[in-house]
Amino acid sequence: MRLIINGESREVDAGTLAGLLTELDYEGGWLATALNGEVVPARERETCRIADGDRIEILSPMKGG
């Protein structure tokens, strides 16, 4: 299925948000995720189903002012 991940269209196989992170080689306890504009806490990623056309944001800590 095709998702919009961090603003870019990508073809992926995973059915859950946790599976998606693994498939895309994201790792670490410092990641933040959102599905279609709503925050998905880390503990809910295993059960969070994703579907064709979903917009996913995966953010990590960065320098800031």
Partner 1 sequence: MLELYGQQFSSRLLLGTALYPSPAVMADAVRAAKTEIVTVSLRRESAGGKTGGQFWSLIQSLGVRVLPNTAGCHSVKEAVTTAQMAREVFATNWIKLEVIGNHDTLQPDVFGLVEAARILSEDGFEVFPYTTDDLVVAERLLEAGCRLLMPWCAPIGSARGPQNVDALRSLRGHFPEVPLIVDAGIGRPSHAAAVMELGYDAVLLNTAVARAGDPVAMAGAFGQAIAAGREAFRAGPLEPRDMAVPSTPIIGMAAFS
Nearest to 58 by CA among 14, 15, 11, 25: 25
List the interface residues with partner 1, window 6-45 (CB under 8 A): 6-7, 24-28, 30-34, 37-39, 41-42
Given 11, 13, 52, 62, the residue binding partner 1 (CB under 8 A): 62
* Residue pair 26/57 in contact by the 8 Å Cβ criterion: no
Give bridge partners of residue 16 from the DSSP assignment.
49
Provide, rounded to whole angstroms, the least separation between the CB of residue 2 and partner 1: 18
Alpha carbon 62 to its chain's center: 17
Interface residue list for partner 1 (CB under 8 A): 6-7, 24-28, 30-34, 37-39, 41-42, 57-65
